[in-house]
Chains A and B, each alone.
Chain A
Amino acid sequence: MMWLQNFFNFRLVSEYAGVFAEGIWQTLWISAVCLALSLVLGTVLALARMSKNPLLWRPVAGYIQFIRSTPLLVQIYLVYYGLPTIMPSGMLFDEVQSGIIALTLHTSPYMGEIIRAGIGSVARGQIEGALSVGMTPRQTMRYITLPQAIANVMPPLLGQTAVLIKDTSLLSIIAVFELLGAGLLMFSETVVATESYVTVAVCYLGIYAMMLVLSGIVQNRLGGSAWQAN
């Protein structure tokens, strides 16, 4: 076991256990907030994208293409460095708020496209049935189409959530303290690369493993298709 101790100093890592726990907590709550916001915004985008009014769906389609064709890092820079230069002075988002805004703007088109596919997958008879018993189109969407759509696309939604959790690591570049930020802090104080970065990777893999377990449970409940980790 000597080689392992030479390679990896467990005592040093245990001294930083609190820092990493704080990092994991930050990563998880930032991801949760972004997930909630991007599900809401994603649903709005999906409905707007399916509208028949070209004044509505064309800009939304353009926005989706823009987000999909540019790197997340550039989008984060646009929000964090670019936005303050065009905002009225006095209104300034801190790095956590900017990070949440950027990640939400980035994730919601992906969520929206998944939800749109889900809405398309709801059987026609369900909608016709709801309309024929006197539900308004709005009620049909709210009580019949959307719940079934979301259940149908639960596997890709979970996959996209796993991507979102990994994407929060980029926020460390704008000095948000999260899991990778904890590793960077440890590296800057101790200058041991192996312990710092391998610990970060192990923590991310732990979160990923929990996502896999969760998706297994959901898959059993819904009897849907296998989850694909993108």
Chain B
Amino acid sequence: MEWIADKWDIVVQLYPFMLKGLWLTFQISIISIAIGSIIGFVLGVAKTAGSRLLNGFINLYLHLLRGSPYLVQLYIVYFVLPSTGIAWLSFDSYTAAIVSLSLYTSSYVTEIVAAAIHAVPSGQAEAARSVGMSKFRTYQHILVPQALKLTIPPMASIYVIVIKSTAVLSVIGISELTRQGEVAIMRMPGDIMFIYSLIALFYFIYCYPMLRLSKWAEGRFGTFGGGDR
């Protein structure tokens, strides 16, 4: 009983502190997925437009972001870009976090949007073109509305990847959930296992419903066999 009372005291003490970290995690992950989705949407649509040269560049962009760990990308955005001497590339840690995470997210979104557009039956686009719609109107009215529905299940699991990636931001001193936990441990060094479990629980409460949503959306909107993690 004493053990429970003891741990409960810790929870009550740390609760507001952890909540502050969770709020920052939420904020950064939402902003990053929003920006990343916009970039990814544009690149994904461009990837299906059929220009060889453009596709080459987009694939290079995807391979660069997919072939290196996110932590390395974060170091490059935070430490290497300022040393180029270009003033507007000298980010503070918060901006560096959002820039790197948005780029990282966009690599996932690009592939999903492109795959979803490819998954729309080709007869749809052919019919639209044959009744005289322009290429742009075909995308606007036929392909994108049908494709967007397909992206919902994988987007939910990508959001989970983004949330989990924010934990890495603690290394550049962003006081998000993981960093707040580290600081809490410096103040109460006796309860390392308990405090880290508490952090894990916070992440779990945040991420698990998203994974369930993804699973539910798969049943509702169907899958096209890509991007699911």
Contacts and interface: CB of A to CB of B under 8 A. Distances in A.
Given A65-B208, A66-B204, A180-B69, A81 B192 contact: yes
A208 B66 contact: yes
Interface in B164-179: 164-168, 170-171, 178
The B interface, classified by DSSP as helix, strand, loop or mixed, is: helix
The A interface, classified by DSSP as helix, strand, loop or mixed, is: helix
Interface string B73-107: 10110011011100000000000000000000000
Given A69-B208, A194-B80, A198-B80, A208 B67 contact: yes
Given A169-B71, A193-B79, A197-B75, A74 B211 contact: no
A187 to B, nearest CB: 8
Interface string A186-230: 010000111001101100110011000000000000000000111
Interface stretch (A13-21, A51-59, A82-90, A146-154): A82-90
A166 B226 CA distance: 20
B193 A83 contact: yes
Contacts of B70: 166
B17 interface: no
Contacts of B35: none
Interface in B127-182: 160, 163-168, 170-171, 178, 181-182
A32 interface: no
B72 A201 contact: yes
A181 B203 CA distance: 27
Nearest to A160: B229
A38 to B, nearest CB: 16
B200 A70 contact: yes
Contact of B197 (A78, A110, A180): A78
A12 B15 CA distance: 48
A172 B171 CA distance: 11
Contacts, number: 124
Given A170-B168, A193-B79, A197-B79, 13 more contacts: A71-B164, A71-B167, A73-B170, A74-B196, A172-B71, A192-B83, A193-B75, A194-B83, A197-B76, A197-B80, A201-B73, A208-B63, A209-B67
Interface residues of B, number: 45
Contacts of A192: 83
Instruction: For chain A, give the interface size range.
Output: 35 or more
Contact of B203 (A70, A82, A85, A183): A70
Contacts of A82: 192-193, 196-197
A193 B67 CA distance: 20
A48 to B, nearest CB: 20
B68 A73 contact: no
A7 B178 contact: no
Interface in B18-36: none
